[in-house]
Structure 1
Amino acid sequence: MRSLEKHTRSNHAPRESLTCAGCDNFFPYREQFHDHVNEASVREECRERAIFCAKGVKQCKLAFSSEHAYRIHVTCCHSETNPFACAVPGCGKSFGHRSALNSHKWTHSAPQDDLVCERCGKTFKLQSGLRDHIKSVHLSREEGAARFTCDICGKGLIDKSKLARHRKIHIDPADAPHLCTLCGKRFRLNEYLNIHMRSHDPDRQEKYPQYMRKKKSKDAGVRMGVAGAKIGRPVVVKKVGTTTGDQNLGKLD
């Protein structure tokens, strides 16, 4: 499964196995390396040393940077140990859990009416998506709902995954585990390092516009950080007609 492959690459694969053997660039996601190999301007060595998947009823043809990365993909996406196979002819996908297969079946179904959340009006394709939305967005914020408390600052989070992510903000910047090998900057979260790496490769920014840094608005007076987060203090607007001399006279009076 794609989510399992993503988890394994992010948490258990050594960095060198996700590094292109032709140009030594790091590609944490499989799609990034696949796009890299298929670019017209890519080095011939990068393409020659890549491993292409030929598994599945329809040949996968995804590119991988190493034998280790390829084995992760085969184990997660093409393994015979996944007992729940899609019965649609020509699909060939299999899953380790029945719930994953049930979710996959919707991709072969005819479009149906969207499910609407009665509280906020947001629409969903799957009943499970609507159920998870109500639980995480609405029920978790009601008075008396369970909270997972950070033992460092006391902040309460709505689930364990958010608490685990929150705890990383307390890591000292000098001890941040994710290091940029090009400029030496450190990041507390791996996803921030991945976003930062695009600053060293401007050509890839066009393919990931959702991660690009928003332009600073002079009128709004707000600086925008990664993924559009507001950073810093608001711009101080100086009062018209007030000078340093007038302020000093006021103090003397």
Structure 2
Amino acid sequence: MEAKSTIGIAEKPYACSLCGRGYSRLSGLTNHERSHTREKPGKRGKESSDSLEPEIRRGVHAKESLFTCPVCEKEFIHFSTLLRHRRIHTDDRGFECPDCEKSYKSPSALREHQRIHAGYSPFGCPQCGKRFRGSSSLLQHQRVHNGERPFTCPTCGKGFANSSNLLKHQRVHSQERPFPCPGCGKRYKSSGDLMSHQRVHTDERPFRCSQCGAGFRRSSQLTVHQHTHTGVRPFTCPACGKGFTRSSNLWRHQRVHN
């Protein structure tokens, strides 16, 4: 069972960042990505049009050749891609890992997770060498180097490198904290924040520095700490070339130029 799962993971390591479809060859992914820019939506299946929410139907017909998300206004060439995208705004997690029963919103996210069990991280960042289990994760990571933040909060205008961080940020405005700690009752905006908080109760510090042995509750804290040993400043301002150890410091610095 485990061997079969590992083979399935390695077969399609190249995932489309727009729709999540996986491919075994980079050329296959490249050819597929053209479908997002060349094909028009054409026929719209009867099976979906009648069951759409009214606001989605308005988004679909708002532009002749684009399907628009009514929540974040992101546009898609294919209606099926819009439906997959909509899951990021909900808690729908219909794809379960057979090894640990953790659930995900898309098959590509599940495949990326399964690489944890296989120890497979085929995508390396050319700037800092950090490795990732999915091409979409690498793409999101590269935004911390170039400062790109394409997902903007409609309330305050703050930008984010990925849609999940935007969704988490929007809970600051709505005061929504759907993840309570069973130990103390404190509530959090995301399951990841809750997991990190629970380590306060257990004093668990699973992320250890290989050079000095310092322990951290988050992998991101360890990454930032390691820069003190290497002197690396991987986040560079594209306007003036100044380097930073944290992407948040780069983002604040860029306001100087704006």
TM-score range for the pair, normalised by the shorter chain length: 0.3 to 0.5
TM-score between both structures, scaled by the size of structure 2: 0.33
Question: With CA pairs under 8 Å and 6+ residues apart, which has the higher RCO, 1 or 2?
Answer: 2
Task: Give 1 or 2 for the bigger CA radius of gyration.
Answer: 1
